[in-house]
Amino acid sequence: MSELHVYNSHSKKKEPFNPIDPNRITMYVCGPTVYNLIHIGNARPAVVFDTLYRLLKRHYPNVIYARNITDVDDKINKAAFEQNRTIKDVSDEFAQKYLDDIAHLNVLEPDIQPRATDHIGEMITMVQALIDKGHAYEAEGHVLFAVDSFENYGELSGRDMDDMIAGARVEVAPYKRHAADFVLWKPSDDSQPGWESPWGYGRPGWHLECSAMIEKHLGISIDIHGGGQDLQFPHHENEVAQSCCAHDGQEYVRYWMHNGYITMKGEKMSKSLGNIFTVRDLLEKVPGEVLRFVLLSAHYRKPLDWSESVIEAARKTLDGLYNALYLKSAIEPSSDTAEIEKLVEPVEQALLDDLNTPLAISHLHELAKQLNKADDEHSALYKAALIEAAHRMGLLFNNPEEWRKGDAVSDGLSDDEIEQLITERAQAKADKNWARADEIRDLFSESNIILEDSASGTTWRRG
RNA sequence: GGCUGAAUGGUAGAGUGGUUAUACAGUGGAUUGCAAAUCCAUGGACGUCGGUUCGAUUCCGGCUUCAGCCUCCA
């Protein structure tokens, strides 16, 4: 496999990636609704599609990546009301915290980060177009999309509307013509955010923003649309319906990609269940790179069960990779790009195969092992290859020595004290005073510091 | 109830119609004053029942279990 293949959740198959225009790749990913802190599940699409973005940029000259922020939503209204704050205040705060959080996961900034509130005009235009074309209707102050008017409705998520209605457990609003019709525009009262529209003062339905922002920033048809699996229905299904109907049936999205869930003890992690770990809390305990590594250690379409032990495993693995670089600190990485590319190739191939990051990581181990046992000349090459391969996944971007030393614990030994004790121990060793030497090492051990003796001296790291 | 998807060694996790995934943990060895780190070696797996096949963990079908969607959700 030498070209990119992606699993298209529309066709349910892995397909070769044939972009609409190789000179302008377009990708859109659904970002969060900003009403509280994001949890690690929200971070998964950010990291997964960041990895895809990096990959695309390597293979195409011009990639335009948009990731939105939903800042109009009834959940935000509710949070603002409960906290006695303005809606904008709440959404601004959590939008910024979202960006700060994922920046710690080494997620690149997308080219465009559109916000719903900046695109109300575009949304109104789209609603009007849908009404004009007979795909939407007004009822009791609402504008609804008529799913009956779109014959492919349900195709993306593989659903049959009749079956769904038969199994429906939710009461249908009386003004809907069809139970599956969804809101494009709804009325607002004074306490809710609203804008003037041909249908009165109101606000858009949730699905509309993505359709409108994609049209404005990326075009009528885009290559890749990504998001969490839980968005496939109804959110993405409704986007397809709106956009196709507004654009007279033109293709909306060529490749749909959905990432699997983060689970907790096998159960989906979600804000409504409350079984969440916020990224912010996790970052208190471990470096962001550890979190990114965990997220990439399972294939993006598979569920990933979050636990203390996967975090520990990721940290240990990264320790090993950084150690390989650290041991060769004195070696200048090679700049022989052709030779480096050869060594990095297996990693690139794994990524090109529908973002097989676990396989790519296994190749990282191979490079690290080769680096560990290489002589100086080969070390330069393997070191460069390991760094390059890891960077392609947004990994190993920290300084190896700083990584080893970790963060000094406030009540533990300072770096200076550590160096002093190491000097004392070196003297004890020279005197063959093994008891004192071991005593000092035990002292370190209590502070979670591990000593490593080598021919060139003693080094230390925080375990 | 309808529809999806998943089930791999102690754990995490790829992949494949016949030949080593990989990592952590374990075991043996090299190395070390002893360790640590590193290297070498090694045991251990494909939910269940059938079918196709010379041969299936891999393809097909039934079953079981689990998760998810059908309501906001990454």
- pLDDT tens-digit readout, A376-386: 999 999 999 99
Are A17 and A6 in contact by the 8 Å Cβ rule? The answer is yes
Are A224 and A257 in contact by the 8 Å Cβ rule? The answer is yes
Distance of CA A107 to the CA centre of its chain: 7
Cα A43 from Cα A40, distance rounded (Å): 5
Q: Residue A455: is its pLDDT beyond 80?
A: yes
Q: Residue A169: is its pLDDT beyond 80?
A: no
The percentage of residues in chain A with a pLDDT greater than 70, rounded to a whole number, is 97
* Any strand B atom closer than 7 Å to A45 CB: yes
Cα A69 from Cα A237, distance rounded (Å): 19
What are the extents of the domains in chain A? 5-259, 308-403, 408-462
Q: Which two tokens stand for residue A108?
A: 């690149």
Q: Does an H or E element contain A371, and which?
A: helix A357-373
Strand A25-29 to strand A63-67: parallel, antiparallel, or no bridges (unpaired)? parallel
Cα A388 from Cα A292, distance rounded (Å): 17
- Predicted local distance difference test score (pLDDT) of residue A306: 95
- pLDDT tens-digit readout, A232-275: 999 999 999 999 999 999 999 999 999 999 999 888 998 888 88
Average pLDDT, chain A: 93
Closest by CA position to A75, among listed A46, A131, A116: A116
- Predicted local distance difference test score (pLDDT) of residue A411: 66
Of the CA atoms within 13 Å of residue A148, those in its CB half-sphere come to: 7
Minimum CA–C1' distance nucleotide for A294 = B12
Q: For A301 and B18, how far is CA from C1' in angstroms?
A: 30
CB atoms under 10 Å from CB of A369, counted, come to 14
Cα A130 from Cα A134, distance rounded (Å): 6
Chain A residues 191-210 with Cβ under 7 Å of strand B are 206
Q: Residue A170: is its pLDDT beyond 60?
A: no
The percentage of residues in chain A with a pLDDT greater than 90, rounded to a whole number, is 84
CATH number of A308-403: 3.40.50.2000, 3.30.300.170, 3.30.470.10, 1.20.120.640? 1.20.120.640
* Any strand B atom closer than 7 Å to A320 CB: yes
* Any strand B atom closer than 7 Å to A270 CB: yes
Chain A residues 215-244 with Cβ under 7 Å of strand B are 227-235
* Any strand B atom closer than 7 Å to A395 CB: no
CB atoms under 10 Å from CB of A385, counted, come to 28
Are A200 and A194 in contact by the 8 Å Cβ rule? The answer is no
- Confidence band (pLDDT; 50, 70, 90) for A21? very high
Mean pLDDT within A401-415: 82
Beta bridge partners of A278: A39
- Confidence band (pLDDT; 50, 70, 90) for A456? confident
- Predicted local distance difference test score (pLDDT) of residue A176: 87
* Sequence-distant (≥ 6) Cβ neighbours of residue A436 within 8 angstroms: A425, A428
Are A48 and A300 in contact by the 8 Å Cβ rule? The answer is yes
CA angle A91, A101, A266 (to 5 degrees): 100
Beta bridge partners of A112: A66
Q: For A130 and B62, how far is CA from C1' in angstroms?
A: 47
Mean pLDDT within A413-430: 92
Point out the residue nearest to B38 (C-alpha to C1').
Answer: A372
Minimum CA–C1' distance nucleotide for A272 = B73
- pLDDT tens-digit readout, A125-141: 999 999 999 999 999 88
**CA max distance for chain A:** 92
Q: Residue A307: is its pLDDT beyond 70?
A: yes
Fold entry, domain A5-259: Rossmann fold (3.40.50)
* Any strand B atom closer than 7 Å to A265 CB: no
Q: How many residues does chain A have?
A: 463
- Predicted local distance difference test score (pLDDT) of residue A158: 83
Q: Which two tokens stand for residue A175?
A: 């003004």
Nucleotides of B under 7 A from a protein CB: 1-6, 11-15, 21-25, 32-40, 66-74
- Predicted local distance difference test score (pLDDT) of residue A458: 93
* Any strand B atom closer than 7 Å to A261 CB: yes
Cα A63 from Cα A65, distance rounded (Å): 6
Q: From residue A381, how far is each of A54, A194, A365, A397 by CA, in Å?
A: 23, 60, 15, 18
Cα A130 from Cα A124, distance rounded (Å): 10
CA angle A146, A147, A151 (to 5 degrees): 125
- Confidence band (pLDDT; 50, 70, 90) for A57? very high
Chain A residues 70-109 with Cβ under 7 Å of strand B are 75
* Any strand B atom closer than 7 Å to A294 CB: no
- Predicted local distance difference test score (pLDDT) of residue A406: 87
CB atoms under 10 Å from CB of A409, counted, come to 12
First-to-last alpha carbon distance for chain A, in angstroms, is: 40
Is the sign of the CA dihedral A98, A99, A101, A107 positive or negative? positive
- pLDDT tens-digit readout, A313-348: 999 999 999 999 999 999 999 999 999 999 999 999
Q: Kindly tell me the burial class for residue A387, based on how many C-beta atoms sit within 10 Å of its own C-beta (0-12, 13-18, 19 or more).
A: buried
Are A49 and A258 in contact by the 8 Å Cβ rule? The answer is no
Cα A62 from Cα A19, distance rounded (Å): 12
- Predicted local distance difference test score (pLDDT) of residue A161: 73
CB atoms under 10 Å from CB of A460, counted, come to 19
